[in-house]
Chains A and B, each alone.
Chain A
């Protein structure tokens, strides 16, 4: 798990150290320059000073005072190139080749040399570079020392500062932790830093949508339970009537009613299940090409016996080759429901026509019946769950059209109700996307 606090600390410390290192280099270079200037000046002054000494007139090498501990080496040659003075016997630098400042490598050491000529005498003052480096290092170190102490201190400060600034996040998570799964009201965005607000806002949006889904689900369960009561009440009453039946005929009649009651309950449960599977958050089945011609034929064939028993003329009026991308099972449920409804509501002697047409990129399926129809003002409401129209003697679940609409919506299609043929009955028009052949 990554920690913003740790990462920030690491990055800031790395940055600090990098800046520190750069500063160290810069300070070192700058100091080194200063030290060089200073020492060069010193070398020069020392050499000039020697010009005024009388030993210039003495003959023969003079070892001078014991200066073995000194950092500077002084040597003087006369006009003929004879070394007449040197400050340290152990260090005999070679005769310089250039006047002024030069760098000489001798005896495994780098030397800074200043050479001047005065009255035929060559005066040379030198000292090792190592001295300068040492001094520069010391000075740079002294300048960098406070930084070395400050970096850990800054680390501690950063640690606390970051921790303090992450508190809004902790507050949000504490708020979330304290919640029950049912508490979906939005989190407070007051006193939140600008960087955290989008996260909390996004979370609030999610909570909102979740709440809406949950409410819908609860409403559905409540509605479903409520809707199950009525068929169950019927079944319970029908059972009692069977128990009370005094004769075989009465008993048989009561049993027939009971069977209808049970069938109706079973149908309602079946439709509730279908609808639950079609819930928007349920997993979407893979959309595959569905042969609508075959599907329509199958549905009509399946319902023909029921239609014939009712003396309803069920048939296909038009049948194009058409296919759509979708879920075959739910499309079958869709058409099955609609044709079944049409057959059930159409009185004996009536007619139900199923048509499948292609129109450009669209497939249009129509189911026409000569039943009682649905008045225009009711044509929207009948798609609502559990909405049942008045004077409807057939004990429907009030879910058939809700299911149809859900299935059509899942396929990106349309479903509308219109007058039936000749202004009587009902026409259901479904529009789906065609697959181009």
Chain B
């Protein structure tokens, strides 16, 4: 899952960036409101982690304008403002969740997963597809009850495909999900991951739609 982190404090931003990447998320980090607007315009991100006390444009203003423009991106607010009024303003301004500094990295990751689950309309934390289960919390996968060893990128790719079974994700889209800014993407990286996944899951699990991209079949 690719996230946009908007945080002006260099130390907090650096630590969150690094921590979330360790948790298997793809994270892009910007430092002010204007940069956040530009990054959001690309539409590559599944979620926005937003600090409220931003230079140039406050997080609250950014959020309000985002919602007014009809952008439904899930927003998790990270802020030092803990007054009830601030929380209410944040949530009413369009935030989906609210985390007050200082916070725990594991809690942040859990909230991101929970928010993603809610957005996808899943009740269960573990994703299932036939014999396959994916647990985004522990990043463990099983196939027919047996543990399945997956690399971080393989897991992320599978997660993206299982998010909406039946939907086709283009190669470019998958690249965007798997790789943040400043990350080198080899030209056939997605194909390599798909190839490896097919070896582990069976050839028919991931379908290739020529000229469009990849999908997993929806199950009744």
Contact = CB atoms under 8 A, between A and B. Distances in A.
A395 B10 contact: yes
**Interface range on chain A: under 10, 10 to 19, 20 to 34, or 35 or more?**
20 to 34
Interface in A372-399: 388-391, 393, 395
A237 B19 contact: yes
Nearest to B11: A234
Given A226-B80, A390-B56, A237 B15 contact: yes
Given A238-B11, A260-B11, A395-B11, A233 B80 contact: yes
A390 B10 contact: no
A229 B15 contact: no
A255 interface: no
A257 B14 contact: yes
A257 B106 CA distance: 19
Contact of B101 (A229, A260, A391, A395): A229
A165 B178 CA distance: 85
B105 interface: yes
A240 interface: yes
Contact of B16 (A231, A237, A260, A390): A237
A264 B18 CA distance: 20
A431 interface: no
Nearest to A253: B18
A231 B12 CA distance: 8
B37 to A, nearest CB: 15
B11 A232 contact: no
A395 B14 CA distance: 12
Contacts of A241: 15, 18-19, 22, 105
B12 A237 contact: yes
B116 to A, nearest CB: 21
Nearest to A235: B102
Contact of A233 (B31, B101, B106): B101
Contacts of A233: 9, 12, 80, 101-103
Nearest to A240: B105
A252 interface: no
Interface string B51-62: 000011000000
Interface in B70-101: 80-82, 100-101
A394 to B, nearest CB: 8
A231 B55 CA distance: 17
A264 to B, nearest CB: 7
A232 B9 CA distance: 12
A240 B101 contact: no
B102 A240 contact: no
A230 B101 contact: yes
A236 B11 contact: no
Interface string B1-24: 000000011111011101100100
B101 A257 contact: no
B104 interface: yes
B9 A395 contact: yes
Given A226-B81, A229-B80, A234-B12, A244 B19 contact: yes
A260 B100 CA distance: 22
A407 B8 CA distance: 29
A244 B22 CA distance: 9
A220 to B, nearest CB: 16
Interface in A213-246: 226-227, 229-238, 240-241, 244
A261 interface: yes
B102 A257 contact: no
Contacts of B28: none
B101 A232 contact: yes
A229 B101 CA distance: 6
Contacts of A230: 9, 12, 80, 101
B32 A238 contact: no
A226 to B, nearest CB: 5
B24 to A, nearest CB: 13
A238 B81 CA distance: 21
Interface string A12-53: 000000000000000000000000000000000000000000
Contacts of B8: 390
Contact of B11 (A229, A244, A261, A388): A261
12 contacts: A229-B82, A229-B101, A230-B101, A232-B102, A233-B80, A234-B11, A237-B105, A241-B19, A244-B19, A389-B55, A391-B32, A395-B10
Interface of B: 8-12, 14-16, 18-19, 22, 31-32, 55-56, 80-82, 100-106
Which A-B residue pairs are the 5 nearest by beta carbons?
A237-B15, A234-B11, A233-B101, A233-B102, A390-B55
